[in-house]
Amino acid sequence: MNETNLYRNRRKTTQLLVIAGAICLLLLLILFYSIGLFDGIFKAKPTVFSAGALLVLLILLIVNLLSLRDKSAQIVLNERYFLGKTTPLAKAFGQGEWQDVKFIDLQKVGGDTMIIVTLENPGKYKDRLPSLLWKMAYQESAQELNIMYSASTIDLEPSELYQLFVSYWKRQK
């Protein structure tokens, strides 16, 4: 059986973690300034904002550092199914079947370009996702489920990953 396994690109991941670390340092400096460490004047709003943002970013940074130990494929594509771990939604969703794919699109979402796989028959996959992720992925008006995959941590560019997804999907038509 023909199968493509895409693994983490250490250089890309390290670059993302260094940027996140730099932002953490900036937020830490803002926090120190806000609590009055430099000028003796306490500023409540910047303190709350910088402390909250720093906490969230540190948690995400630690989770991503721990995920570096995972040596398994980030995206697996074969003739029967697709599987990905590049976004929290894709990781929670797990394995999808090509026969349920209605459309595949490439879209800019925030600062990343995502491959969006639109699935028919969403009831088949409902029990896989927690309710918050289900609400993000499910379009009630169209009765479709949209699962997003990112190329930000693997060796391919988004357009190349998109072409790879489409080529496997077209084999099933």
For the chain, count helices (H), then strands (E): 5, 8
- Long-range contacts of residues 105-110, Cβ cutoff 8 Å, at least 24 apart: 106/158, 106/159, 106/162, 109/148
Domain coordinates of the chain in residue numbers? 3-67, 79-171
Q: How much of the chain exceeds pLDDT 70, in percent?
A: 99
pTM for the model stands at: 0.75
Q: Is 149 helix (H, G, I), strand (E, B) or coil?
A: strand
Mean pLDDT of the chain: 90
The mean per-residue pLDDT over the stretch 67-79 comes to: 88
Residue 34 has pLDDT above 90, yes or no: yes
Specify whether the CB–CB gap between 164 and 155 falls below 8 A.
no
